[in-house]
Amino acid sequence: MTVSLHGLAVARGVAIGRAVLVVSSRVDVAHYFIQASEVEAEIGRLRTARDAVAQELQRLQASVAQMKREDAPHELAALLEVHQMLLQDDALTEGVKHWISERLYNAEWALTTQLEIVARQFDEMEDDYLRERKADLEQVVERLLRQMKGTAAVLAPPPPPRRARTDSDEGEAGEGDFDVPLVLVAHDLSPADMLQFKKSVFAGFVTDVGGKTSHTAIVARSMDIPAVVGARSASQLVRQDDWIIIDGEAGVVIVDPSPIILAEYGFKQRQGELERERLWRLRHKPAVTLDGEAVELLANIEMPEDSTAAVKAGAVGVGLFRSEFLFMGREARSLTRLPDEDEQYEAYRRAVEGMRGMPVTIRTIDIGADKPLDGKASKQEYLNPALGLRAIRWSLSEPAMFLVQLRAILRAAAHGPVHLLIPMLAHAREIRQTLALIEHAREELRAQGVPQGEVKLGAMIEIPAAAMMLRVFLKHFDFLSIGTNDLIQYTLAIDRADEAVSHLYDPCHPAVLRLVADTIAECRRQGKGVSVCGEMAGDVQFTRLLLGLGLRSFSMHPSQILAVKQEVLRADTGKLAPWAQQVLDSDEPSELLGH
């Protein structure tokens, strides 16, 4: 039966494929693909964990047998026996082997996938006693996961991309068929998971939670694949290998579509591909408006290798290198596990050299809220993580770590033009502390005789307080970069990752537009550079407004550059300026913007 689910559209396009579920677990589970040559080793990890859990249960059974009856009731011994039976059950072990060998999942991912399938079988049982055994199965799997955590494999590169299914393919692909597109479905995905999947084979993804500017959504846009977040119960309603359609334009997920619906979306998918091909022809055309205003279109990147996509899309530089993605998946409470100076230097150098002489803006680490270092931090750990120890606040609280990053960035600047961008500044004392540490890092490199380069210094304007003290900022910085994602969040008191209040997240709010406009105007007045690097920069619905407000530097994901360039080429800034002022003066700007 066809089912439609509704969420938030965060990356445009249409994806059609088989569902791959990432199942939630109380134990932190890594999800990655292995190589075909590693299948036996991964099954060996599973076998080792199963044997260890079996021995653990045997020890518990032996200790129970030695206890007095009043200390160890018969039910406890029976329960341990049930756990032993479930541990050896073929439905569990053979199923896990199937996901490892056929889909090349790592053992933990395969185990949670099979748990979800078997658990649903328990839910459908009529007998109450048998139905309640699902909890026992979950406990057994949790024991296995905890055992495997000590034998975790190093992340392997993904297998080669699978051939997409075409209209000429006959019949329906079965389980394990590598000839069909795969679509990821999960309750939520950490930024670290998203980075791993970014290198892989998925045609689209769906999550139960998240907002339009959550980091999961941002990475999805950088992957240029259709995505829907905030689809609430998608991970419960979709089953492994279900055929599903993701409509990234409408924010709709269609499960088990009929042939007619499949044909309709297949046509829509081909139309989108034709539009992308048409935009691709603009990649070498300079971004100049009809009235001769040159516009700088920059790229946002997460990893050094993303510079290749930026150059291909026609970016004239990197306006935002999110350096925190180099730190993802590390143990947050152990600074020795974070990338050292040489590892960071090599990453920044690769990005600089990859841009072939064009400038690279490296933002210092911005962790916290929806970007925990180790993928485990949750909202329960803080009263409000978005207002807590994040971004520059965390860096200043860990000066040794911060100096390592600053030295690495300064060293990379010897290989090409680098701009250094500081996130989430709000106080003059934070500015002074940051500048002092930058100078300290320079002195350390000079003392060691290590080559370094000059950098332009910039600050993010993403807190209303910062937008209201621009003159203080412009005394110390060469340029400003407006981070609209957080600026909207903090101006409107909206958690941008929470789908429950996503309808209140409004880039068109008069207060937000006024802060953006004032920042652009003040920078132009003082002859300082200013760009927008938040999601507004890559949204073609805002291109004309930002141009009318005087913005001449946009930074966005490479996948969005050509669509924005098309709007720039069609724009006349002289005519847009008075209209933009009308939008600013309006009580309902969205009406004039056509939103």
Tally Cβ neighbours within 10 Å of residue 265: 19
Distance CA 81, CA 358 (A): 66
Feature table: binding site for phosphoenolpyruvate: 322, 363, 485-486, 496
Q: What is the pLDDT of residue 153?
A: 42
- Structural fold of domain 281-593: TIM Barrel (3.20.20)
Domain boundaries, the chain: 3-25+173-277, 36-149, 281-593
DSSP conformation letters of 48-110: HHHHHHHHHHHHHHHHHHHS-TTTS-HHHHHHHHHHHHHHH-HHHHHHHHHHHHHH-B-HHHH
Kindly report the CA angle at 382 between 11 and 362, in degrees rounded to 5? 50
Feature table: binding site for Mg(2+): 462, 486
Q: How confident is the model over 38-59, as pLDDT tens digits?
A: 999 999 999 998 998 888 888 8
Query: In sequence order, what are the residues at sequence separation of 6 or more whose Cβ sits closer than 8 angstroms to the Cβ of residue 503?
Result: none
**Best CATH choice for the domain 3-25+173-277 from the list 3.50.30.10, 3.40.50.300, 3.40.50.2300, 1.20.1250.20:** 3.50.30.10
Q: How confident is the model over 97-149, as pLDDT tens digits?
A: 999 999 999 999 999 888 888 877 877 776 665 666 677 787 788 888 878 87
* Averaged pLDDT, 67-76: 50
Phi and psi angles of residue 5, each rounded to the nearest 5 degrees, phi first:
-120, 145
Q: How confident is the model over 549-592, as pLDDT tens digits?
A: 999 999 998 989 999 999 999 999 999 999 999 999 999 998 88
Distance CA 389, CA 401 (A): 15
387 three-class SS: helix
Feature table: binding site: 322, 363, 462, 485-486, 496
Distance CA 355, CA 358 (A): 5
**Residues designated catalytic:** 215, 533
Helices (H), 527-588: 540-548, 558-570, 573-585
202, β-bridge pairs: 182
Q: What is the pLDDT of residue 209?
A: 81
- Structural fold of domain 36-149: Enzyme I; Chain A, domain 2 (1.10.274)
The answer to which of 19-33, 136-150, 374-388, 536-550 has the lowest mean pLDDT is 374-388
Q: How confident is the model at residue 195 (pLDDT cuts 50, 70, 90)?
A: low
Handedness of CA 30, 36, 38, 41 (dihedral sign): positive
Tally Cβ neighbours within 10 Å of residue 384: 9
Does this model's pTM top 0.85? no
Kindly report the CA angle at 567 between 561 and 568, in degrees rounded to 5? 85
Distance CA 134, CA 82 (A): 11
Q: What is the pLDDT of residue 502?
A: 74
